[in-house]
Structure 1
Amino acid sequence: MASQEKRVFVASLKSSLESFLFAAKRLAKSALAPLGPASEPCAGVDEDQLRRLEAKLQRVRAVLGDAERLAAGRGPASESAELWLRELRGVECAVEDILEKVQFEALRASLVEDLGADGEGEDPAKSCARVREVGALLSHSPLSSLDLKVKKVWEKYHEIASDREALRLGPEDGEVRSRPSVRPPTSSLSSGKLYGREGDLHRLFELLFSEDCGCRVFSVVSVVGMAGVGKTAVVQHACNDQRVRDSFDCFIWIYSGQGVEVTSTTKTMVQACGGDTRDITELSLLQGLLVDLLKGKRFLIVLDELWGIEKAVWEILEGPLRFARRGSKVMVTSSNTEVGLTMGCDHRYQLRLNCLSDAACWSICKSNAFRGRDMEMCPKLASIGEEVVKRCKGLPLVSKAVGGLIQCKPDGEELLEVLHSDVLNNDDLMNEILPVVRPTYDNLPPHLKNCFAYCSLFPNGYIFDKEQLIRMWMAQGFLQHHERLQPEDVGRRYFDNLLGKYFFQESPFYDFTDEKYEMHDLFHVLALSIAQKEYTTIDHGKYNKRHDVIYNHESIRHSSVLPSLTESDITIEGHLFHGQDLRTLLVIKRPRCEIDGNSLYVKIPYGLFLLLEGLRTLDLSNTSISEIPSSVGNLIHLRYLGLKNTKLKRIPESICGLLNLQTLDLKHSYYLNELPWGIRCLVNLRHLELPLSEYPSISIPSELKLLRSLQTLNAFYVADNSIYCGISGLRDLVNLSGELHIAGLMNIHNAQEALDADMGSKTKLQKLALKWWSLTAGSLPQDVQTSSLVLDKLQPHPNLEELIISGYCGDKFPTWLGDCYFVKLVKVVLEGCENCSLLPSLGQLPSLKHLIIQQVEKVQFIGRKFICHGTAQSQGFPALETLDIRKMYDLELWHEVQDGDFPLLNDLNISGCNKLKKIPQLGSLVNLRIQSCEQLCDLPVLPTLRYLKLEGFDKVMHLPRLPDLPLLQILELSCCKKLSSIGRLEHLVALQLLKVTKCPKLQFAQDEPVLAYPKLCICLMDVTC
């Protein structure tokens, strides 16, 4: 009876759901019909109005470009111009929102229709999923009250347009007046002392005196560095040197801060060479006069603070210079590394100035602070100043300003206020420093200005992830359209451009696979100063009631929330953003915050997302948030959603209504167990970051395969259930780039499925990880032959740079692995391939630099086949730099290495190879680490070895006699429980350090020979083992 009732209930439910689907389709069709071919009014907005809005948007953007250039340097009028500019941006944002809402509705209508067509005749389980998809799409109607919004936009537009003539903000205003120069255009050279630049100055002299000009009569010397690092000072000191003066016949110094205009610059050169330019205005005449003046002479031309120059301009300017005497020099100082390249500067002639040491900064500070006074008479000021200067971050400009502050404030108590605050937030200092740095920003094109200003949302000391920041820029529409480039590629160009101008610098955590950057403190202060009207940070460490006034302003469009140093929970209060057209909301963990991991709890009121429907970027990463309100589906403009490193278990289905979403970041959110079923609706999704796990942990809906715009899918889990996505779902995702980890390959039961994935079509993939099982969880059974066929059919494209094969169940590696056609392959990892008795032939991979072989347990011998196929005698591993061999329990012999093999091998690590008796001679090896290889009792001659570590030799009582190792400097012994004697080491003539750790039985007698070596330092650490 119960079973019969259950069947009736299921049938009734199915009927109800199908009825709802049919009704939903009809409702959507009737509601959205005006967006179809017919020109009926849509929520009070007809097509003519939409066309007019689009036209106005283009005009507004064009005027914004003019206004931004004018507002940068209008002097007393700039405040009015900037206000007008902000209002104009408000109109731009309002028009964008309206047009995007209409586009959203058109896309939604199309998707609802497609879902209805796809849903006919499918099984009940998929029908339920289809109903959820339709529900997500019909959750709200963004076209409500659109007519009223359009009217308000028109009113605001006409109001602002009427102000344009009054403020004289238009192309008809004539030539743009430039911002007054903070450094006068003069060739007067400083004769003050130069601190901390002795090495740089010596290098600059070498470049100036070099006769190597190639095929040209002159060479270009480029001195580059961030603003305030002292480029001009270094060049001035070089030019003051009498040797330099004697080496050149003509000396020309041109301050180029406002750019290079060919005629005026040529005239300046003529005048500096003693020529008379009166009544000469034509460029050709000026160039002819300059040629006559330079013939047979050696010149030194300095172009100081050149922000940029077009190649065509430089080619005209350099024409007369080619008639001078060989050995002439053009020296350019710039904060833009591209300038020298444009002028033909060879990389050998580029001098990069880095930040100074604290000691050098203190010397600069003292020279300005105690001018005319004896420092010993004011020791209190000296001690305080020495602490303050540590916060100058290596910039001479800031150090000099701090010195001036000390001179102006002889009272130590006042200076203590500077010490206990942020030096770069001191108003007196910034009034002196920012005008020098500001031109670096003013000379940026508008699109780069937006990108730089956006960085003001992040706290000082923040570590930027390059790709993440680019995706946020993309979400805000900062990246200009390019016919041949993807938006991400455009963003990378923008970032590299800012990096080349020193707005960013590599972080200590940077490596080539994980690009991390930071911003110098001075540029962070600059970003805050120029972005304060549209960008703001709600700092809970400084929270007070004034936030209601500070942040409740309609011009604020981007906001970040910072927790205090110690708080573990914060609430995002919606009233702080009331009335704002907010486009960014970030919750950012403060650098060096005491709150670890994702323990920061964020409370999000349900109604918050109803207030912030204009959001383009929302980031709640690195918090303990476990649930997102379903009202997130209201954010129809959202393009970036960051949920990395959270405690989310599920994502609301309403997220599938975010049709504009481009990035969904779920990395490190290990509690998540499935993606929403309606994910196919995210038709604009380009980047999907999932938590990486060795074993399949997230159920991926089968319709992920329809997201053909995907460029990033870092993890894919092959399901053991046909309801979810199989590996063949990767077939049409041909735009995937970056890295892809495929786990759960033991769930493939037919090699055809692997072939259907068409991995060879993924031309942009750089890293591929193929995982059958977890090294910690143990192997799951799969037919050996099937595993071999699966791996064979998963052959990637030759553009691949890194390959990982983990837990492979087959008994042989495919022939494509090691093929020389993989010319870009840099790193290979083979781990847990327990059934393989032979290693693949990898020695002919031309670019392979790093190789890790771990737990390939059945391999007994490593011979010539590891290096090359068949009987070929070619050089093996021509580019390999590091080799790790771990847990090869049956490996006994590694031999058949010939002269010329491994020519660049620098590091060799061998561990857990208990049966290994011998390793080959490797002529280039520098570092060797051997762990737990009890039977390895002999080492070959290693003529270049400098570091040797022997660890875990539990049964060894006496250290075996080592061969001649003429360059060995460090010998380290660790965890050798029975080792009692070192023996004689006199043949290790270069040995400097003997480090012994956890060798409890090792003792040194007074007459121990090793103690007699005068240059040897012996370090005993942690005797217990």
Structure 2
Amino acid sequence: MIQLQTPLSIPFLFLPLLKLMAESLLFSSAESLLGKLASDAFQEASLAFGVHRDLQQMKETMELIRGVLLDAEKKNPQSSALSEWLIQIKHVFSDAEDIVDDFECEALRKHVVNTYGSCSRKVRRFFSSSNPVVYRLRMAHHIQDINTRLAKLAYQRNMFGLQVIDQDTRVVHVREMTHSHVTPSNVIGREHDKQEIIKLLLKDDHGQSLSVISIVGMGGLGKTTLAKLVFNDPIIHACFPLRMWICVSNDFELRNVLIKILNSAPNPNRENFNNFETEQLQIHLRNTLEGQKSLLVLDDVWNEDRARWDELREIIDVGVEGSKILVTTRSHKVAAIMHTKSSNSYLLGCLSEKDSLSLFVKYAFEDGDEMKHPQLLKIGEEIVKKCGGLPLAVKTVGSSLFSRVDEKEWESVRDNEIWNLKENEKDILPALKLSYDKLPSYLKPCFASFSLCPEDTVIFGTGVRMLWGALGLLPPPKAGESMIDATQLLHELWSRSFLSEYEDHGGECRFKLHDLVIELAVYIAKGKFEIIKNHNPKSYKNAHHLTFAANNLLDQTLLPRSLRSITFPRGANNEVFLNTLVSRCKFLRVLNLDFSEYASLPRCIGKLKHLRSLSLLENENLTELPDSICKLQNLQSLILNGCIKLQKLPKGLANLVSLRCLCITTIEPGCPEKEIASLPSLELLGFYQCDNFESLFKGILLHTLKRLTLIDCKSLKTVPFHAIKNLEVLMIFNCNKLESSMGLSNEILDSRLKLLILSDLASLVTLPRWLQGSANSLQSLVIQHCINIYELPDWLPTLNCLKQLEVLYCPKVLSLPDNIHHVTNLKVIDVTGSSELWKRYRPEVGEDWHKISHVNLVWQDYQSENEKELTVKS
């Protein structure tokens, strides 16, 4: 599971900024809650419980307050009264969300009883609840209390002069306008990037009159600086007689952009274009561009409206062959809209540590003074590592230390977060926060959850999707639409350059987060997500999400009743604390007990009816689970892999009607496959170290399952592939008795498989024929540490959707199929550790390189030299 990060020590200076950030999450909470109240399912439930009128009143008052929140965010909440008012709104919205979730839980409980109880008295007794009349009266009282509090808060808005705003018209901070001048000696570490961009600008476009090259990357990377270096290079001067530079930023209104371009072009008559109509402007600009090979730099583009871009392009494309547009943007979507081919989109990377240190020294010391202060330089090396290769972060920190020689000041910067530095508009915090400000409201809570992510770690999309689902961060679908897939939200965050090294393997994606992106998320989520490093209940009394840094803190912490998620420290074994948590925090959604030392869980855990995620990863002392876990009809993920002493799974698994993810390690002799097959929502299923399982899914079908993982199941022999109709991801590791035919022999079935990983399978000598049934779906095929596989079959190129092929540490595979060039969608071939393949297909020099020359990337790990070589074909 994802772990929380080190907390921030934020000085009083930054409190106003924090309040503004908290309010933007508050607005997102209001949007989400109103979406739930408006859903058809909830409307039906509210009528069934007889509280429809009261809930409708709650919804109407919340809509009023939501509009007021927008107006409040336009004002800087300097007064303590306004701040307190916003805190009260946060509390009442939180309580209202708990009420809404409680109704959903009760409706789901009734559904389970009505569906399964009619044929089983045990189920009725198992899910017995309080008198429905008493429940209705109690909930009606809670709703009335919330409505009273909401009405009071809505009335109090008049104290602050707040007005209702129907639409989100908040003005996002805009960075200041840029210019084209640069002093090259002040730029470090970008020479290679400059040459690559120049190559793209000079590349022959085979008669195309106007093409676009984009520089894409997160805020603070130096995209504008790189564009300046290119713009002022003598080669570019010689090649493009007409060069123009404009900073676009938020303003992509056609008339304004035309004026900016004309003002940047030579103007011998000194005309004032501000008085021109759009028609006059386009005529004048086309005349200016006519007959001249030109370079136009559009810096800091945010426009994602393709129609606006097409309108501009029609005007500036005057048919001069070789003219180019150079775009800088944080958005991959912008690059795509502007018709930038993947080969013309340059993803700017971070600086190396060496270049970062050189840049830091330039800004932190007078010329040569660093040699006089070797201890400061040593501290500076540690500071630079925290900047993660972001030039703007390096400059920000270096400038803050300029002319300071007190080691304690340097150590303070090293030991605290960059956000604690005094800021100005050109520094790193405004640069990164600008990207956050531009996020739609439904993405802001998702981004804030990145505060839970560890630094410098590969993150898998599945884990993030489960976390978002458990915390209720996925936006409710609009009328007539299906549930929003979290993969779409991850892709949107990637397109805005929040995710690094993003790879989509089909059915699964993986990525990293820059350290400063995580720190920004922690900064934004402060007050809602907290790490307990010492005993100070006041600091987290209103928190919804807690993680504990040390085991000894479990003895003394008073837990907030409103807690939604909690992460225990490694080695936790305090039973009294766990019992207190379960009995006190009845609205808990996520319980993370990874690497704990509990032998069992309290039976009263079945009362946590709001619980959606329970993770017991690597609990090696766990021997049993209470059957009451199966009362958790809201539970979406149950993680039990690594529980090597678990005697058996709890009885009644089939009652977990919301379960989507189930990962199992157990020493029981057989799998309760009939109960698993009865789970109506199950999508991800994993068996880990289940050494006593010999077969799975005999005589049953799994219609909903999309992902199956089998790891270290040493006795497993048979898994009928045809029993899993809709499987998209299959991963098999170290299951050497498993028949690779998967019960199909030479039979080929149509399948939806997108990702297949076969690892550490000594019995595998060639790929099973059933894989041909995935010809129209398989996107990634990974074969690793299969020491006896000796060939890739001739039918492999029939997998026409294949984008990524990895043959890792398979020494007996000597060649790829001769017709591999027929796989036209193939983007990546990775032959790490397969030395014979590398020799044969080595770029430009391998005897069969021409057969895979259409592949963009070939990567090889030279074990003997302990280094990696990356070859990119332009």
- Which TM-score applies when normalising by structure 2? 0.76
Contact 2:673/2:697 (<8 A) preserved? no
1:354 shift after superposition: 1.5
Contact 2:772/2:799 (<8 A) preserved? no
Are the structure 2 counterparts of residues 515 and 765 from structure 1 closer, same or farther at C-alpha, using a change threshold of 3 Å? closer
The answer to whether residue 582 in structure 2 is matched with residue 612 in structure 1 is no
Counterpart pick for 2:212 among 197, 220, 235:
220
Corresponding residue number in structure 1 for 2:617: 644
Contact 1:820/1:844 (<8 A) preserved? no
Counterpart pick for 2:228 among 217, 236, 241:
236
Contact 2:642/2:689 (<8 A) preserved? no
Bigger share in helix? 2
Q: Which amino acid aligns with 1:454?
A: S
In the TM superposition, 1:388-427 aligns within 5 A as: 388-419=383-414, 421-422=415-416, 424=418, 426-427=420-421
Partner Cα separation in structure 2 for residue 548 and residue 505 of structure 1: 36
- Local SS of the residue matching 1:624: coil
Corresponding residue number in structure 2 for 1:596: none
Counterpart pick for 2:195 among 193, 197, 202:
202
- Residues 683-721 of structure 1 show CA distances to partners (whole Å, capped at 9, x for unaligned) of 121222223x8x865642633322122111223999999
Partner Cα separation in structure 1 for residue 45 and residue 429 of structure 2: 57
- Local SS of the residue matching 1:453: helix
The answer to whether residue 752 in structure 2 is matched with residue 799 in structure 1 is yes
Q: Which amino acid aligns with 1:148?
A: H
- Local SS of the residue matching 1:674: coil
Are the structure 2 counterparts of residues 499 and 341 from structure 1 closer, same or farther at C-alpha, using a change threshold of 3 Å? same
The answer to whether residue 628 in structure 2 is matched with residue 628 in structure 1 is no
1:172 shift after superposition: 4.4
Contact 2:782/2:806 (<8 A) preserved? no
Corresponding residue number in structure 1 for 2:566: 585
Corresponding residue number in structure 2 for 1:712: 684
1:450 shift after superposition: 0.8
Are the structure 2 counterparts of residues 416 and 204 from structure 1 closer, same or farther at C-alpha, using a change threshold of 3 Å? same
Are the structure 2 counterparts of residues 610 and 260 from structure 1 closer, same or farther at C-alpha, using a change threshold of 3 Å? farther
Q: Which amino acid aligns with 1:845?
A: L
Contact 1:637/1:660 (<8 A) preserved? yes
Are the structure 2 counterparts of residues 828 and 650 from structure 1 closer, same or farther at C-alpha, using a change threshold of 3 Å? same
Are the structure 2 counterparts of residues 832 and 434 from structure 1 closer, same or farther at C-alpha, using a change threshold of 3 Å? closer
The answer to whether residue 845 in structure 2 is matched with residue 845 in structure 1 is no
Partner Cα separation in structure 2 for residue 970 and residue 277 of structure 1: 62
Corresponding residue number in structure 1 for 2:254: 262
Corresponding residue number in structure 1 for 2:652: 678
Corresponding residue number in structure 2 for 1:763: 726
Larger Rg: 1
1:821 shift after superposition: 6.4
Are the structure 2 counterparts of residues 348 and 82 from structure 1 closer, same or farther at C-alpha, using a change threshold of 3 Å? farther
Q: Which amino acid aligns with 1:661?
A: L
Partner Cα separation in structure 2 for residue 606 and residue 701 of structure 1: 31
Partner Cα separation in structure 1 for residue 319 and residue 759 of structure 2: 62
- Which TM-score applies when normalising by structure 1? 0.66
1:92 shift after superposition: 3.5
Counterpart pick for 2:547 among 560, 563, 568:
560
Partner Cα separation in structure 2 for residue 362 and residue 841 of structure 1: 47
Contact 2:741/2:768 (<8 A) preserved? no
Partner Cα separation in structure 1 for residue 747 and residue 90 of structure 2: 50
Partner Cα separation in structure 1 for residue 785 and residue 372 of structure 2: 69
Are the structure 2 counterparts of residues 585 and 257 from structure 1 closer, same or farther at C-alpha, using a change threshold of 3 Å? farther
Partner Cα separation in structure 2 for residue 37 and residue 363 of structure 1: 64
394-403 or 456-465: bigger deviation: 456-465
Contact 2:70/2:168 (<8 A) preserved? no
In the TM superposition, 1:143-542 aligns within 5 A as: 145-167=138-160, 169-170=162-163, 172=165, 176=169, 178-187=171-180, 189=182, 193-212=186-205, 215=208, 217-273=209-265, 274=267, 276=271, 280=275, 283-323=278-318, 325-371=320-366, 374-379=369-374, 381-419=376-414, 421-422=415-416, 424=418, 426-428=420-422, 432-458=427-453, 460-461=455-456, 464-482=459-477, 487=483, 490-506=485-501, 516-539=510-533
Counterpart pick for 2:640 among 650, 660, 666:
666
Partner Cα separation in structure 2 for residue 201 and residue 223 of structure 1: 11
Are the structure 2 counterparts of residues 198 and 278 from structure 1 closer, same or farther at C-alpha, using a change threshold of 3 Å? closer
Give ranges in structure 2 of 5+ residues lacking alignment: 1-41, 822-828, 850-860, 867-874
Corresponding residue number in structure 2 for 1:109: 110
Contact 1:72/1:179 (<8 A) preserved? no
Partner Cα separation in structure 2 for residue 48 and residue 177 of structure 1: 32
- Local SS of the residue matching 1:577: coil
Corresponding residue number in structure 2 for 1:138: 129
1:321 shift after superposition: 0.9
The answer to whether residue 563 in structure 2 is matched with residue 576 in structure 1 is no
1:132 shift after superposition: 6.5
Are the structure 2 counterparts of residues 380 and 148 from structure 1 closer, same or farther at C-alpha, using a change threshold of 3 Å? same
Structure number with greater CO (CA < 8 Å, separation at least 6) is 2
RMSD of aligned Cα (Å):
5.0
1:827 shift after superposition: 5.3
1:491 shift after superposition: 0.9
Contact 2:700/2:723 (<8 A) preserved? no
Q: Which amino acid aligns with 1:738?
A: R
- Residues 974-1010 of structure 1 show CA distances to partners (whole Å, capped at 9, x for unaligned) of xxxxxxxxxxxxxxxxxx99xxxxxxxxxxxxxxxxx
Contact 2:331/2:497 (<8 A) preserved? yes
Contact 2:217/2:223 (<8 A) preserved? yes
- Local SS of the residue matching 2:516: helix
- Equivalent pairs: percent with the same residue? 24
1:843 shift after superposition: 3.7
Are the structure 2 counterparts of residues 278 and 633 from structure 1 closer, same or farther at C-alpha, using a change threshold of 3 Å? same
Contact 1:656/1:681 (<8 A) preserved? yes
Give ranges in structure 1 of 5+ residues lacking alignment: 1-34, 120-129, 590-598, 749-753, 850-877, 887-893, 911-920, 928-941, 946-968, 973-991, 994-1025
Partner Cα separation in structure 2 for residue 209 and residue 922 of structure 1: 35
Partner Cα separation in structure 2 for residue 415 and residue 898 of structure 1: 55
Contact 1:819/1:844 (<8 A) preserved? yes
1:202 shift after superposition: 1.3
Partner Cα separation in structure 2 for residue 336 and residue 815 of structure 1: 41
Counterpart pick for 1:739 among 692, 708, 717:
708
- Local SS of the residue matching 2:291: coil
Corresponding residue number in structure 1 for 2:627: 653
- Local SS of the residue matching 1:451: helix
- Residues 229-263 of structure 1 show CA distances to partners (whole Å, capped at 9, x for unaligned) of 21111112222334434544544333333353333
Are the structure 2 counterparts of residues 377 and 602 from structure 1 closer, same or farther at C-alpha, using a change threshold of 3 Å? same
Contact 1:705/1:729 (<8 A) preserved? no
In the TM superposition, 1:716-735 aligns within 5 A as: 727-728=697-698, 730-731=700-701, 733-735=702-704
Partner Cα separation in structure 2 for residue 922 and residue 901 of structure 1: 15
- Residues 802-826 of structure 1 show CA distances to partners (whole Å, capped at 9, x for unaligned) of 37699999xx999954757656663
- Local SS of the residue matching 2:558: helix
- Local SS of the residue matching 2:301: coil
Corresponding residue number in structure 2 for 1:127: none
1:970 shift after superposition: 9.8
Corresponding residue number in structure 1 for 2:537: 548
Contact 1:696/1:744 (<8 A) preserved? no
- Residues 850-895 of structure 1 show CA distances to partners (whole Å, capped at 9, x for unaligned) of xxxxxxxxxxxxxxxxxxxxxxxxxxxx989568489xxxxxxx99
